[in-house]
Copies of this chain bind each other. A is one copy, B any other.
């Protein structure tokens, strides 16, 4: 089976118009597909309205009990179910899931070292059998950024990590492509020029671009994650803007494709 795993973040979810446009594009995306979403900004905003202030360390949320409840309500409830309902409108048989549903993604509570992240999960195991079965029923899984420890505890889990884990686990038995939508059009040669997208990156090019400081700071972990996914069997990783996703599905250059070794497109 050929499976596309698409991850969207706050820059889409937090804007109803953008989200609606994305939902329509995603509906047209061909083949078997899985959508992964977080929703951090909306959760923070909602928590603040309840007097629960988000505590962040190095861009990562510290998830105490109250924050976990908020994240559960906002991710698995408000965002996930409204997306599912919208997708149903566009004839997508969407099914919303956390990692607890069907024991989809098991994680362990992150061990306390310098920082206690609270109810945050590091992924241990993906139930690829269930995902395959759901896809075979022509369902479209919409997975939010929550997992569980199989001991009754939900755990807040980074949506990028969920997308990567689903992709790498499924790639042992399926052909998987991974799409990360973020706030830039791709890896850019000139950060200020959205038209300077580097269409294709492999490890050699990556090392070169890093040396030349074209790729730096926040883009480095993104690409390291992408190469890690390729290493584990993912076919290709695409990064770009959500609004260009549909072009990517048609084989048009509309973001950056990250491949392992070879140059041939798709």
Contacts and interface: CB of A to CB of B under 8 A. Distances in A.
Interface of A: 49-50, 69, 72-78, 80-82, 84-86, 88-89, 93-98, 100-103, 130, 133, 137, 139, 146, 148, 150-154
13 contacts: A49-B50, A72-B77, A72-B82, A74-B77, A81-B154, A85-B100, A85-B153, A89-B150, A93-B102, A94-B102, A95-B101, A96-B100, A96-B101
A102 B46 CA distance: 28
A84 B96 contact: no
The listed residue with most B CB atoms (<10 A of its CB), out of A78, A84, A88, A98, is: A88
Cβ-closest 6 pairs across A and B: A77-B77, A73-B73, A89-B152, A73-B77, A85-B100, A76-B77
Copies in the assembly, this chain: 2
A22 to B, nearest CB: 14
Interface of A, helix, strand, loop or mixed by DSSP: helix
B74 A100 contact: no
A69 B79 CA distance: 10
A103 B91 CA distance: 10
A179 to B, nearest CB: 23
B81 A100 contact: yes
A106 to B, nearest CB: 9
A89 B151 CA distance: 4
A76 B81 contact: yes
A103 B138 CA distance: 12
Contact of A88 (B74, B97, B148): B148
